Amino acid sequence: MPPISLSQRSAWTRRQAISFLMQQAVENRHVLSLAAGLVDEATLPAFECQTALQMLLSDPVRARSALQYGTTQGADGLREQLVEHFARLEGVPRSELGVGADQFLATTGSQQFLSLAAETLLDPGDICLVAAPTYFVFLGVLNGVGARAIPVTADADGMRMDALEDRLRELERSGELSRVKVIYLVSDFENPSGVCLSAERRREVVEIARRWSRERRIVILEDAAYRELRYDGEPLPSVWSCDPSHEHVVYTQTFSKSFAPGIRVGFGIAPRELVGPLCDRKGNEDFGSANLNQHLLATILASGQYASHLQQVLAGYRAKRDAMLAACDEFFADVPGVSWVHPAGGLYVWMSLPAGISTGFDSPLFSLASKRHEVMYVPGELCYPADRPDWTAPRYQMRLSFGVLHSDGIREAIRRLAGAVRDVLSSPGSAGR
Amino acid sequence: MPPISLSQRSAWTRRQAISFLMQQAVENRHVLSLAAGLVDEATLPAFECQTALQMLLSDPVRARSALQYGTTQGADGLREQLVEHFARLEGVPRSELGVGADQFLATTGSQQFLSLAAETLLDPGDICLVAAPTYFVFLGVLNGVGARAIPVTADADGMRMDALEDRLRELERSGELSRVKVIYLVSDFENPSGVCLSAERRREVVEIARRWSRERRIVILEDAAYRELRYDGEPLPSVWSCDPSHEHVVYTQTFSKSFAPGIRVGFGIAPRELVGPLCDRKGNEDFGSANLNQHLLATILASGQYASHLQQVLAGYRAKRDAMLAACDEFFADVPGVSWVHPAGGLYVWMSLPAGISTGFDSPLFSLASKRHEVMYVPGELCYPADRPDWTAPRYQMRLSFGVLHSDGIREAIRRLAGAVRDVLSSPGSAGR
What's the rounded mean pLDDT across residues A269-285? 96
Question: What does pLDDT average to in each consecutive run of 10 residues of chain B (433 residues)?
Answer: 92 79 74 88 94 97 94 95 98 96 98 98 98 96 96 97 98 97 98 97 98 95 98 97 96 96 97 96 95 98 97 96 98 95 97 95 95 95 89 94 95 98 85 45
Strand-pair partners of A399: A350, A378
B70 touches chain A (CB under 8 A): yes
Interior angle at CA B183, CA B182 and CA B188, nearest 5: 135
Q: In degrees rounded to 5, what are phi and psi of residue A409?
A: -65, -40
A120 touches chain B (CB under 8 A): yes
How far is the C-alpha of B78 from the C-alpha of A233, rounded, in Å?
43
User: Does pLDDT of A278 surpass 50?
Assistant: yes
User: Does pLDDT of A28 surpass 80?
Assistant: no
Side-chain-facing half-sphere of B8: CA atoms under 13 Å? 12
Which among A71, A262, A291 has CB closest to B68?
A262
Question: Which chain A residue is nearest to residue B43, measuring alpha carbons?
Answer: A64
How far is the C-alpha of B193 from the C-alpha of B195, rounded, in Å?
6
Asked if B254 and B265 touch (Cβ cutoff 8 Å), the reply is: yes
B406 touches chain A (CB under 8 A): no
Residues of chain A contacting B1 with CB distance shorter than 8 Å: 210, 213, 217, 245, 247
Closest by alpha carbon to B282, among B105, B144, B128? B105
How far is the C-alpha of B326 from the C-alpha of B314, rounded, in Å?
18
Helical segments of B286-348, H only: 291-303, 305-332
Determine, for residues B293 and A289 on separate chains, whether the beta-carbon distance falls below 8 Å: no
Asked if B21 and B375 touch (Cβ cutoff 8 Å), the reply is: no
Q: What is the pLDDT of residues A82-137, one digit of tens each?
A: 999 999 999 999 999 999 999 999 999 999 999 999 999 999 999 999 999 999 99
Determine, for residues A69 and B37 on separate chains, whether the beta-carbon distance falls below 8 Å: yes
Determine, for residues B245 and A1 on separate chains, whether the beta-carbon distance falls below 8 Å: yes
- Please enumerate in sequence order all residues whose Cβ is within 8 A of that of B397, keeping only pairs 6 or more positions apart, or say none: B133, B192, B350, B351, B352, B353, B359, B379, B380, B381, B383
B66 touches chain A (CB under 8 A): yes
User: Does pLDDT of A431 surpass 50?
Assistant: no
How far is the C-alpha of A19 from the C-alpha of B231, rounded, in Å?
43
Determine, for residues A292 and B291 on separate chains, whether the beta-carbon distance falls below 8 Å: no
Which among B137, B273, B281 has CB closest to A4?
B273
Residues of chain A contacting B6 with CB distance shorter than 8 Å: 120-121, 277
Closest by alpha carbon to B266, among B431, B113, B369, B50? B113
pLDDT at B389: 85
Q: Which of B111, B249, B286 would you mutate first to test chain A, the one with the most A CBs within 10 A?
A: B286
For the CA atoms of chain A, what is the radius of gyration? 22
For the beta carbon of residue A297, count every other beta carbon within 10 angstroms. 27
Determine, for residues A261 and B66 on separate chains, whether the beta-carbon distance falls below 8 Å: no
Question: Which chain A residue is nearest to residue B290, measuring alpha carbons?
Answer: A264
* Structural element, H or E, at residue A268: strand A266-269
- Please enumerate in sequence order all residues whose Cβ is within 8 A of that of A132, keeping only pairs 6 or more positions apart, or say none: A151, A152, A153, A154, A384, A385, A393
Asked if A385 and A132 touch (Cβ cutoff 8 Å), the reply is: yes
Ranges assigned E (strand) in A108-176 = 127-132, 148-155, 158-159
Determine, for residues A121 and B7 on separate chains, whether the beta-carbon distance falls below 8 Å: yes
List Cα–Cα distances, B233 to B196, B200, B320, B343, B347, in angstroms.
11, 16, 17, 11, 16
B405 touches chain A (CB under 8 A): no
How far is the C-alpha of B197 from the C-alpha of B199, rounded, in Å?
7
CA quadruple B401, B406, B409, B414: dihedral sign: positive
Strand-pair partners of B290: none
Residues of chain B contacting A41 with CB distance shorter than 8 Å: 64, 68
Q: With a CB-CB cutoff of 8 Å, which residues 276-295 of chain A face chain B?
A: 276-277, 279-281, 283-293, 295
User: Does pLDDT of A432 surpass 50?
Assistant: no
Which among A18, A37, A290 has CB closest to B108?
A290
Question: Which chain A residue is nearest to residue B245, measuring alpha carbons?
Answer: A1
A23 touches chain B (CB under 8 A): no
* Structural element, H or E, at residue A146: none
How far is the C-alpha of A115 from the C-alpha of B7, rounded, in Å?
13
pLDDT at B430: 59
Side-chain-facing half-sphere of A377: CA atoms under 13 Å? 33
Determine, for residues A291 and B262 on separate chains, whether the beta-carbon distance falls below 8 Å: yes
Which among A1, A46, A213 has CB closest to B1?
A213
Determine, for residues B10 and A281 on separate chains, whether the beta-carbon distance falls below 8 Å: yes
Taking one residue from A and the other from B, the number of pairs with CB-CB distance under 8 angstroms is 302
Query: Max CA-CA distance within chain B?
Result: 71
Q: What is the pLDDT of residues A214-233, one digit of tens each?
A: 989 999 999 999 999 999 99
B272 touches chain A (CB under 8 A): no
Which among B141, B213, B264 has CB closest to A290?
B264
A335 touches chain B (CB under 8 A): no
Determine, for residues B216 and A38 on separate chains, whether the beta-carbon distance falls below 8 Å: no
Ranges assigned E (strand) in A5-112 = 32-33, 104-107
User: Does pLDDT of A70 surpass 70?
Assistant: yes
B2 touches chain A (CB under 8 A): yes
pLDDT at B429: 64
**Gap from A82 CA to chain B (nearest CA, Å):** 19
Question: Which chain A residue is nearest to residue B270, measuring alpha carbons?
Answer: A4
How far is the C-alpha of A184 from the C-alpha of B61, rounded, in Å?
37
Residues of chain B contacting A70 with CB distance shorter than 8 Å: 262
Which among B6, B18, B68 has CB closest to A41?
B68
Q: Which of B7, B62, B215 would you mutate first to test chain A, the one with the most A CBs within 10 A?
A: B7
* B330 or A24, higher pLDDT: B330
3-state secondary structure of B341: coil
Determine, for residues A49 and B292 on separate chains, whether the beta-carbon distance falls below 8 Å: yes
3-state secondary structure of A222: strand
pLDDT at B374: 95
Q: With a CB-CB cutoff of 8 Å, which residues 88-107 of chain A face chain B?
A: 107
- Please enumerate in sequence order all residues whose Cβ is within 8 A of that of B224, keeping only pairs 6 or more positions apart, or say none: B186, B187, B188, B238, B251, B252, B253
Q: In degrees rounded to 5, what are phi and psi of residue A223?
A: -100, 105
pLDDT at A39: 87
Question: Which chain A residue is nearest to residue B12, measuring alpha carbons?
Answer: A281
Question: Which chain A residue is nearest to residue B66, measuring alpha carbons?
Answer: A262
How far is the C-alpha of A115 from the C-alpha of A137, rounded, in Å?
10
CA quadruple A108, A111, A114, A117: dihedral sign: negative
**Gap from B279 CA to chain A (nearest CA, Å):** 8
pLDDT at B26: 67
Question: Which chain B residue is nearest to residue A123, measuring alpha carbons?
Answer: B7
User: Does pLDDT of A411 surpass 90?
Assistant: yes
Which among B16, B108, B286 has CB closest to A111?
B286
Q: Which of A54, A112, A121, A285 would you mutate first to test chain B, the one with the most B CBs within 10 A?
A: A285
3-state secondary structure of B45: coil
Determine, for residues B115 and A213 on separate chains, whether the beta-carbon distance falls below 8 Å: no
3-state secondary structure of B183: strand
Interior angle at CA B304, CA B300 and CA B310, nearest 5: 85
B388 touches chain A (CB under 8 A): no
How far is the C-alpha of A279 from the C-alpha of A139, rounded, in Å?
23
Mean pLDDT of chain A: 94
Strand-pair partners of A197: none
CA quadruple A401, A350, A316, A188: dihedral sign: negative
DSSP conformation letters of A81-113: HHHHHHHHHHTS-GGGSS--GGGEEEESHHHHH
**Gap from B48 CA to chain A (nearest CA, Å):** 10
Residues of chain B contacting A19 with CB distance shorter than 8 Å: 72, 279, 283
